Every structure is written in C-alpha cells, then in structure tokens.
Amino acid sequence: MSSRSTEHPVLARTSGVPGPGHRAVTLPPTVFGDHVTTGKLVLRFTVTGLVTLVVVAVLTALASVGLGTREAIDNAITSVTLAGSAVVESRLTDDLLRADPALTEALDLAVRRELIRDSLVRVKIWSADGQILYSDQAELIGERFPMREDQREALETGRPAADLSDLTHPENRFESRAVELLEVYLLMHTPNGTPVLFESYFRYEGVTEAGRRIWVRFVPYTLGSLVLLELLQVPIAVALARRLRRSQRQREDLLLRSMEAVDDERRRIAGDLHDGVVQELAGVAFSLGAAGRGPGGGVDPARVRVAADQVRQSVRSLRSLLVQIYPPNLYEEGLEPALTDLLARVAARGLRTALEVDVAPGRLGVDETELLYRVAQEGLRNVVQHAEATAVEIRVLREDGTLVMTVHDDGPGIDPTVLPRETGHLGLRALAGLAGTVGGSLMLASGPEEGTTLRLEVPSR
C-alpha cells in the first residue's frame, strides 16, 4: 500500500465516483454478428440424436432378435426334454433296440399323436453306434450313419444341445432343402440303462418367429426409453448451444477488438512519430543545412550544438515511445512503478499528477496488471490529447471485493455518450471489451467543473 501525490484542488474533491453533475456511460464491448444460430446447433444435435437413435434401435433389434432366438431355442430344448421324457423315454425298452415291430408301431403312434405338431416335423432315435432305431420316416429305421461330433458330445456329456441341420447329410435326404431345420439332441436311457440319442427336428422359421415375438414384447420399452432420452436431451442441447453461441460471439468480439486495437495503436504510433520524432529530425536537417552555410562558408558551431540537442531529444522521444509500447518494469517491478513512469511523462508536459495504489505488491495477476496498465495508459493519453486539464490523478483501490482504478482529470469535461461512438477512440472500446472478458466493466463519467473520470472495475480474485 502506497501513495504518491501532488495535491490539486479539483483532485482533492473527487474519488473516482461520478458526482451529481456527472453524466456517466458504461463503455460496451463491440458486438460482432454470430454466424451459427442456436436453432442450427439444436437442429444438428437433434439430427445427430435421431441418427444415433436409429443406429441404437437397429443394433438393439438385432441383439434382441438374437437373444429372442436363443431363448426360443432354449424353450425348444425344454419342451423336447419334457415331452420326450413323457412320450418317448417311458416307452423305451430293450426289445425296441432289437427292432420289435409291435413296439415300433406303438411308439410311432404315440409320437405322431403327441409330439409331431406345429413346428416339430421329424423325430429320430439313435443307438450309440450310429444306427437309427426309430424314425417317423420309416425308410430310415435300421440304417446306420457315422455320428457327428455334436451327436457324440450329447451322448457323452448328457447335456441337451441344438444346432441347425445340415441337409446334405445322408440321414436328412428326405428333408426339403428349402426349409431350414433346427436339430435338438437329448440323451435317454432304456430301463436297463442303455444310452440312446433322441433327436427332434423343428422348423427354424418357427424358432425365429418365436424370437421375434419375444423381441416385439420389448420394443415399446426399448424404443420408448430411447425416444424419452432424446427428448430429455433437447433442453440440454439448447442450453449448450446458447452457451456455445455466447462463447463464439465472445471470441469473435475479442478478435475484432484486438484488430481494432492493433489498428488504433498503429495509427497512434504513426501519429507520435510524425508529430514528434519526424518533425524533430526534419528540424535537425534544416539546422544542419543552415550550419553548413555559416559566415565565410564555414560551419556555424552554435547551429551544430542546436542540432545535436535536437537529435538527443529525438532519441529520448523514441525511447519513450518504446517504453510505452512495452514497459520493461511492468512485470519485473509491479504496477506502481510502471504507473509512476506513465505519470512522469505526463508531468513532463506540465500537468500536476497524483498516484495512489492501495493494493499490496504481488496480489495482482498478470492479466489484471496488464489490463490496469493499459487502461491507465489510454486514459492518460486522452487526458494529454483532449482534456485541456492541468492535473490528473490515478487511484487503484479494492472496494467490496472489487478492484477499482480511476483516472481523473480536472478538465472542462466531455459528453461521455459521444466518445464511445467516435471512430478515433477505438482504444477505449477495445479496453472495454477486454474488461468484459474478465467480468469487469469500463465507465466514463464527466460533468461541468467536475472533470472527466475513467473508471475500471474488475472482480478481485
């Protein structure tokens, strides 16, 4: 906390807060048109969501049909296990293994009456050595075929199994090639414990139809949940789109303000060079030309000394300009020494100055320090060029969690509603936008006999 001042009557009456006679205006950041509307962003999100919904629905349907088919196959195995045990295994005898015609006929009658119906179209009973002991296709009874791996596995493990029929196998020569069949294998035993393999054939389209029926039962819940999720995400999409739009607009505003600030700074530097160093060097050229035409054709030492002084003044002006462009002590020594240097250059023009910094060193971030310095620099530049003032004061304070800086002069004042619209004051507009990006604000206040105050407020971190 420190204070440096040269007291002035007008400055003593002001605190940086607009008085009763002041007219004040908050300098707005530049607004740049947004190319992407909220509606377009929501439409993109909705279309993407619908595409995702369709993809998920298709994948869910495929998975559901697959699970339904698997469930239908399990149901087929269960029904075969129950019906086969009740109808076939209860009628198995060792005489059937010896192809007893009466037993075969009785079993065939029971199978046709109680088993072969709906999608079940064929029944076979195999011995362990590959002989068909019974089939509802009588021509196959007594024939012997090599047993396949899945049949042997069902015989050895006793676990029921199911698989699509290979209709090219000889034992399936009576089946229509145009109809897919599902084979279900079940291990049975005769009363004496002889293992046999009970094989039943189902139309596969009936199995898949059962799978589809299972899937259809879940369709309303699956698709309904997806549609509800899509509808619930629309408000979120609207909020995100609005936030994205604001962010995009802020970036474009910042880019535009940066471009305007760069152009304004270039014009200012060009003006400073033209009105200062260029004019001084032009005067040096004239002085040197006159010095070369001294009495008797010699050199006039007095004019040479004047020219040397002018060159030194030009060098000082150039150094001052370089310091304004990049103050070397801003980050090394802090804000207060940098503001002191700014006021020293103003004091060299004959203005009374005062500085009060009520912020402990090291408590300001880099962004805050640079913003405060740039606002002070722009404020002092306007005071020198436009204010017709005799004194200027800078104060940096903390007020209720807010960092406040004021640049006040004792000039006759201006209309603050006009200045932000003038194209020659893009520096203030750019600084107002820069302050807005960190949640701050820049205000210009002025009134008769009250001078002009530039006030920056930034949330203190």
DSSP string, 236-292: HHHHHHHHHHHHHHHHHHHHHHHHHHHHHHHHHHHHHIIIIIIHHHHHHHHHHHHHT
Each residue's pLDDT tens digit, 69-113: 777 777 778 878 887 778 888 788 877 777 778 888 888 888 888
The crossing angle, in degrees rounded to 10, of helices 38-87 and 204-272 is 160
Q: Please calculate the CA angle 216-220-224 and round it to the nearest 5 degrees.
A: 150
pTM of the model: 0.41
The answer as to whether 2 is a domain residue is no
The enclosing domain of 152 has a CATH number of 3.30.450.20
pLDDT of res. 409? 93
Instruction: Report the domain count for the chain.
Output: 1
Q: Which of 460, 436, 456, 388 is nearest to 31 (CA)?
A: 436
Q: If pLDDT is split at 50, 70 and 90, which confidence band does 352 have?
A: very high
The answer as to whether 174 is a domain residue is yes
The answer as to whether 126 is a domain residue is yes
Question: What is the dihedral sign for C-alpha 23, 26, 30, 36?
Answer: negative
The answer as to whether 131 is a domain residue is yes
Pick the more confident residue, 129 or 94: 129
pLDDT of res. 406? 94
CA gap 27, 15 in Å, rounded? 20
Mean pLDDT of the chain: 77
Each residue's pLDDT tens digit, 283-330: 777 777 766 666 655 666 777 777 777 777 777 667 666 656 656 566
The answer as to whether 19 is a domain residue is no
Please report, in angstroms and rounded to a whole number, the separation of the first and last CA atoms in the chain: 17
The answer as to whether 312 is a domain residue is no
Q: Give the Cβ contact number of residue 311 at 10 Å.
A: 16
The answer as to whether 206 is a domain residue is yes
Pick the more confident residue, 35 or 56: 56
The answer as to whether 61 is a domain residue is yes
pLDDT of res. 281? 75
Q: If pLDDT is split at 50, 70 and 90, which confidence band does 37 have?
A: confident
Could you say which DSSP state residue 296 is in?
A: G
Q: Which domain holds residue 83?
A: 42-210
Please check whether residue 455 is in contact with residue 405, taking contact to mean a CB–CB distance below 8 angstroms: yes
- pLDDT of residue 193 exceeding 50, the answer is yes
**Range of weakest confidence among 116-125, 161-170, 357-366:** 357-366
Pick the more confident residue, 320 or 161: 161
pLDDT of res. 395? 94
pLDDT of res. 255? 75
